């Protein structure tokens, strides 16, 4: 999203007398009074181009089951399916917008049904300035769903009019004008209770062999073929980088230690910035010729150092060894 000044969210409680919802009861320490699945339902709605799909993807990163543009006729059936206790639907984010008609009636029915079961439900309405919406539609070349002879701005005005009741039903109204993805993530996660791990950046360290190709999902790729190859040492050739002899051979090289220090410094510099931009997973790939000796020994040592240094979740995958 383009950057500019971003207005704060507008809590529903400031616009209407507060109601005691299941969420507020939960925050007050009350226990749910009857059945239903123990989880959360977030309903994301608002103007076309305001960021609803991006918001759903952010919730998906939290483990929410997300459904974009669910037809209103299917919402109540989906919630009944969820009430049956299927753990896949414990935390759910539903995107409702004008393409399927006015979301207000179905939001009212869904909220009533969920609160009767003491489920936590939050309705978030996303909007943006006309200038921001026009800019986004121009950049993506998508057609506004209500655009007709009145043009794009006419469609935006008509959508605001049709969604006025939906906006009034929202627990939170969030203006996304000028928000980056990272800022949108920060605002959304401030509205919905999330685990401490939600704001963390998962670092996946992957090893590979260049002769088998670079991992397609790698964010950072390091070539460690500058180190002496254990492959040419007869006693080490059949051993992988997971064994002590190969590990000691690789890490004893002065260049290996300096390389690891530089990668640590790079990650210390970049991971906070990646996190602030909304990135939830960083794939660091280390490659040698076959992906069997040098890259594995270095990856294991790098992961160990990152964990000891307090780095957020770190996993290691050796593609040629485990793939």
What is the Cα–Cα distance from 221 to 211, expressed in whole angstroms?
14
Q: 202-209 and 40-46: which strand pairing?
A: unpaired
What is the Cα–Cα distance from 119 to 36, expressed in whole angstroms?
7
What is the Cα–Cα distance from 183 to 170, expressed in whole angstroms?
20
In the sheet that holds 281-288, the strands lie side by side as 220-223, 281-288, 202-209, 314-318
Three-state SS for the chain is CCCCCCCCCEEHHHCCCCCCCHHHHHHCCCCCCCCCCCCEEEEEEECCCCCHHHHHHHHHHCCCEEEECCCHHHHHHHHHHHHCCCHHHCCEEEECCHHHCCCHHHHHHHHHHHHHCCCEEEEEEEECCHHHHHHHHHHHCCCCCCCECCHHHHHHHHHHHHCHHHHHHCCEEEECCCCCHHHHHHHHHHHCCCCHHHHCCEEEEEEEEHHHCCCCCCCEEEECCCCCCHHHCCCCCCCCCCCHHHHHHHHCCHHHHHHHHHHHHHHHHHHHHHHHCCCCEEEEEEEECCCCCHHHHHHHHHHHHHHHCCCCCEEEEEHHHHC
Residue 172 has pLDDT above 80, yes or no: yes
First and final C-alpha spacing in the chain: 37
pLDDT (0 to 100) of residue 312: 66
* Contact criterion met (CB below 8 Å) for 258 and 302: no
What tokens does 47 get? 């103007």
* Contact criterion met (CB below 8 Å) for 230 and 298: no
pLDDT (0 to 100) of residue 15: 38
Q: How does residue 166 score in pLDDT terms, banded at 50, 70 and 90?
A: very high
pLDDT (0 to 100) of residue 71: 82
At 24-75, the pLDDT tens digits run 333 333 333 334 456 789 999 999 999 998 888 888 877 888 988 888 888 8
What is the Cα–Cα distance from 138 to 142, expressed in whole angstroms?
7
What is the Cα–Cα distance from 249 to 304, expressed in whole angstroms?
18
pLDDT (0 to 100) of residue 234: 95
What tokens does 206 get? 């992957």
**Which domains occur in the chain, in start order?**
10-195 (3.40.50.300), 200-322 (no CATH)
What is the Cα–Cα distance from 225 to 207, expressed in whole angstroms?
12
What tokens does 297 get? 């020994």
- Tell me the mean pLDDT in the region 139-148: 81
pLDDT (0 to 100) of residue 228: 97
- Tell me the mean pLDDT in the region 97-120: 84
Q: How does residue 79 score in pLDDT terms, banded at 50, 70 and 90?
A: confident
Q: Which of 81-85, 109-113, 210-214, 240-244 has the weakest average pLDDT?
A: 81-85
pLDDT (0 to 100) of residue 12: 44
Q: Residue 232: what are its φ and ψ, rounded to 5°?
A: -90, 5
What is the Cα–Cα distance from 292 to 298, expressed in whole angstroms?
11
* Contact criterion met (CB below 8 Å) for 105 and 73: no
Say whether pTM exceeds 0.85: no
pLDDT mean across residues, the chain:
82
Q: How does residue 323 score in pLDDT terms, banded at 50, 70 and 90?
A: low
At 174-196, the pLDDT tens digits run 999 988 777 787 788 888 766 55
Q: Which of 95-104, 207-216, 262-271 has the weakest average pLDDT?
A: 95-104
């Amino acid at each position: 999203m383009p950057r500019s000044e971003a207005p704060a969210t507008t809590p529903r409680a400031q616009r209407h007398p507060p109601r005691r919802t299941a969420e507020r009861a939960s925050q007050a320490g009350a226990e749910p009074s009857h059945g239903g699945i123990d989880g959360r339902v977030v309903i994301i709605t608002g103007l076309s181009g305001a960021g609803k799909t991006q918001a759903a993807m952010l919730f998906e990163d939290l483990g929410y089951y997300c459904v974009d543009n669910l037809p209103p006729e299917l919402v109540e059936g989906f919630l009944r399916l969820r009430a049956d206790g299927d753990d896949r639907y414990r935390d759910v984010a539903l995107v409702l917008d004008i393409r399927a008609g006015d979301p207000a009636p179905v939001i009212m029915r869904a909220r009533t049904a969920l609160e009767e079961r003491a489920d936590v439900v939050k309705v978030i309405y996303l909007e943006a300035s006309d200038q921001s919406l026009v800019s986004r539609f121009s950049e993506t070349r998508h057609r506004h769903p209500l655009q007709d002879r009145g043009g794009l701005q006419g469609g935006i005005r008509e959508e605001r009019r049709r969604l006025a009741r939906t906006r009034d039903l929202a627990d939170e109204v969030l203006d996304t004008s000028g928000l980056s993805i990272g800022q949108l993530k920060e605002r959304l996660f401030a509205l919905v209770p999330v685990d401490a791990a939600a704001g963390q950046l998962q670092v996946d360290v992957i090893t590979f062999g260049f002769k088998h190709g670079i991992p397609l999902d790698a964010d950072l790729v390091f070539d460690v073929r500058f180190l002496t190859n254990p492959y040419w040492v007869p006693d080490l050739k059949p051993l992988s980088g997971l064994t002590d002899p190969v590990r000691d051979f690789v890490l004893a090289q002065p260049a290996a230690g300096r390389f690891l220090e530089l990668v640590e410094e790079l990650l210390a510099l970049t991971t906070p910035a990646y996190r602030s931009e909304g990135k939830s997973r960083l794939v660091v790939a280390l490659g040698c010729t076959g992906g069997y000796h040098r890259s594995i020994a270095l990856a294991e040592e790098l992961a160990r150092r990152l964990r000891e240094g307090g780095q957020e979740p770190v996993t290691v995958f050796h593609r040629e060894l485990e793939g």
